[in-house]
Structures are given as structure tokens and as C-alpha cells.
Chain A
């Protein structure tokens, strides 16, 4: 009986482990990427540069032609889409793959060209839960992750098993987040 349980445990651990390999890597990599979202933009690559313009920017006289004139003075081919000039001193000129923002008081502007960050855009998209079905799928994945973890505790017997070395490491692994909780949670 014990042998059968042990075999079942091992087989469950092995097969679920294989099954969730892809998802685990996706969540882990996007987790690292999103963890550092204040240091970089994990979804988009933003190429930006600043410029100065002497073109007079007045909301009443601003037209598509004015926007095109500004773009014409900038390096590269910037394809004009449209513009947005709310009250205040910032005008936004939208271009294919980005936008241009100009301070109407100082004439200082910035061009931002935005493109999707390959690979990370896609895995972050999945991480952010793209739809109701994915929500259920990721719930199942989380349950599978728990199953792999719990079955993993009982794979090895003896001095490296859960009763000795395994117990020490498992307790250490539980204590680490608890220490963080005590330090930051109070």
C-alpha cells in the first residue's frame, strides 16, 4: 500500500511537473519583468529624444499643417496621425508608432517612438490575465503548482527526505517570507 502511494506520488509529481514547465517559465520570467517595471518598461521599447522648435504654437491657430510642420523639422520619417491640444501648455501630436509632445511656452518637445518588446510583451500579456478562460486556466495552473510542491516533499526518503534535511529546508523556505512579513508588514 505504502509502495503504491509512493509510486502514485512520484508519477503525479513527474507528470504534472512536465505539464506545467512552460507556464512556470512564462510566469517566472514575466514576474521578474513586471517586478522591475519601475526600472524599465517591460511591455514596450521607447526610443525618445528631445528637440526645440521655434514654431509658434497657439491653440486657436493650431492646425494639422502646424503639426506636420513640426514633424518635418524632426529627423526620420514621422507619419502624422492626428493631434490633441487641450487647454494648458502641452500639445500632443500622434504619429504612427508613437507621439510627439511639445511645451507651447518653451518650444521644448519630446519624440517618443514606441514598439512592442518582443517576447516580454506576449508573456506579460498572459501574466496580466487576458480573459475569463485564462483566469480559470491559471487557477488550475496554481493548483497544479501546489500539487507539484506537496508531492515533491515526499519523493525522497531517508536522511535527505522530509523528516530530516528536507524538513530543515522546508521550514527555512517558510521562514524567509515570514521574516519579510515581520520586517515590512508591521
Chain B
């Protein structure tokens, strides 16, 4: 009996360790049951205040997932310079890095960024330098990801629209 239980436990863990199921790391966050409003990315950029504190669904291309924590994801629409910051929130597992480059329909609540979610001034300044500079030889983006630096966050901070907003993730569907 004991041998059986141990074998089952070890086998179960090994099975869970194998494979890479895209999107399986992010489960649905059922904190908000209200129907999501479908919004075009361009409309969101044009009139973001209309959707603040509302549950929305927007389609975009994932251009960055934080490999450090997995809790941050950035998507863009047709305008490659305007990214939407999506945070996994407290109750949702991390975003899989395999999502980068995929088109997704993301649903979540659009909120104003509170101080705690915004990078500190020092971090932002460091990030801005990274964003402005070229990729230095031997220093990959993945290495730059470590610690608090994140060039993508810095780029979001200086973009013309959506820089002060974030989406608190609810669920997503990979379109392509």
C-alpha cells in the first residue's frame, strides 16, 4: 500500500513535469463575472478613459512576457508603439513565455496604474536608457530581464497612450 502511494505520488509529479502546454499556466480568474465589452485596440488608444474600471476584451499581439515573474504581459494592436500592460493579478498564475508572438483575445478589467504597480523613478530611468540604447553585444534581452530592469516597462511609461493604464487579467484565448 505504502509502495503504491509513493509510486503514485512520484509518477504524478513526473507527469506534471513533462510537456509544455501552451496557455495552461494561466487559469481563468473568476473575480469579475460582468460581461466583457469587446473593444478594438485602436478604440482603446483613442478613448481609454471610456473603458477605465470596466471589463473589456481586446485583441492584440503579445510582444513581451516577463520571464522574471511571469506576472506581466504586454500586447500591441496595429500601432507597434502603443503597448497595453496586462497584469496577472494576485490570484492568477504566471503567463507562459510561449505566448510571446501569439495573437490573443484578452479579457480583463482596465484600471489606472497605482503606484505599487508602476516602476520606481530610478528603475524607470534605468529602463529608459536600456530602451533607448541598442542591444549591446553579449547582453541579451533575457539577461536584461533579470532584477528590476525592464526595457518594455520603460517604453510603456513613455508612450503617448495607455501609459497610465493596465488590464487586470481575467482570461485569454490564443487566436493564432
Q: B-contacting residues of A (Cβ < 8 Å)?
A: 22, 37-38, 41, 43-44, 46, 48, 50, 81-82, 84-90, 92, 94-95, 97, 99, 101-103, 105-106, 108-110, 112, 114-116, 118-119, 121-122, 125, 128, 130-132
Given contacts A41-B67, A99-B101, whether A110 and B135 have CB atoms under 8 Å apart is yes
**Interface residue from A81, A84, A110, A121 paired with B76 (Cβ < 8 Å):** A84
Give 7 A-B pairs besides A43-B67, A132-B91 with Cβ atoms closer than 8 angstroms.
A38-B146, A44-B97, A46-B142, A84-B63, A103-B135, A128-B94, A131-B93
Chain B residue with the shortest CB-CB distance to A134: B93
B10 to chain A, nearest CB (A): 10
**Which residue numbers of B lie inside 8 Å of A, CB to CB?**
9, 13, 16-18, 20, 25, 27, 61, 63, 67-70, 76, 80-81, 91-94, 97-98, 100-103, 131-132, 134-135, 137-138, 140-142, 146-147, 155
A22 B92 Cβ-Cβ under 8 A: no
Docked pose: A8 CA to B134 CA in angstroms: 65
Residues of B within 8 A of A82 (CB): 61, 101-103
A37 to chain B, nearest CB (A): 7
B contact residues around A121 at 8 Å (CB): 17
Also in contact, A92 and B63, with CB within 8 A (given A99-B100, A125-B93):
yes
State whether A22 and B9 are in contact (beta carbons under 8 Å apart), knowing that A48-B142, A105-B134, A122-B17 are contacts in the complex: yes
Interfacial chain A residues near B80, Cβ < 8 Å: 84-87
In the complex, what distance in Å separates the CA atom of A90 from the CA atom of B103?
A: 21
Distance of A81 Cα from B67 Cα, bound (Å): 19
Pair B102/A131 contact, Cβ less than 8 Å: no
